[in-house]
Copies of this chain bind each other. A is one copy, B any other.
Amino acid sequence: MPDENLPNENPVRSHVTRLRVRYAETDQMGVVYYANYLIWMEVGRAEYCRAAGIRYRDMEEDDGIRLAVVEAHCRYLHPARYDEEIAVKTRVANASRRGVEFQYEISDARSGRQLAYGETKHLFLGAGMRPVKLPEKYWALYGIEPLAETPRIT
């Protein structure tokens, strides 16, 4: 899948991935059903991590870390339609050792028209689905400063 890393001092802080609207994602209104935008956000998160050299899958399998969503929000501007190529721009808006907040811009890749934007907030969970502090090796992925003592998401 093509991607465009935006110019950025920290190249992992923003990432664009593309996907094609599936027939399965439309509804009888002739546009993409609204819950599917949250799936696209998940794709955006996974590709953000991959672009930074870390597979979300490995974080789950190797370290037992899971990103449990605690909040999701989406504002819909224009409907996405079948077969359109969609660009999902994902960035970390906020992160601490306890959790992370992503922001997304979803647009029509061809025209550049913004279709929706949204945010999701997550907590890091470990064994037994209990909150854990993120291991230091993942801090750079989310732009967490080594000295940041104060969690910004609680």
Interface residues, chain A, with chain B CB atoms under 8 Å away:
1, 20, 22-24, 26-31, 33-36, 38-39, 42-43, 46, 55-57, 66, 68-76, 79, 82-83, 120, 129
Cβ-closest chain B residue relative to A45: B23
Given contacts A71-B75, A76-B71, contact A66 B29 (CB under 8 A): yes
Most buried by B among A20, A31, A43: A20
Q: How many Å lie between the Cα of A29 and that of B68 in the bound state?
A: 9
Task: For A33, give its contact among B1, B23, B34, B129 (CB under 8 Å).
Answer: B23
Which residues of B lie under 8 Å from residue A30 when comparing CB positions? 28
Contact B76 A74 (CB under 8 A): no
Q: Can you list 15 A-B contacts (CB < 8 A)?
A: A20-B43, A22-B43, A22-B46, A23-B27, A24-B27, A24-B35, A28-B29, A28-B82, A35-B35, A38-B38, A68-B76, A71-B73, A72-B72, A72-B76, A73-B73
**Min CB–CB distance A150 → chain B (angstroms):** 23
Contact B1 A24 (CB under 8 A): no
Which residues of B lie under 8 Å from residue A82 when comparing CB positions? 28, 57
Task: For A22, give its contact among B42, B69, B71, B73 (CB under 8 Å).
Answer: B42
Q: How many Å lie between the Cα of A68 and that of B129 in the bound state?
A: 26
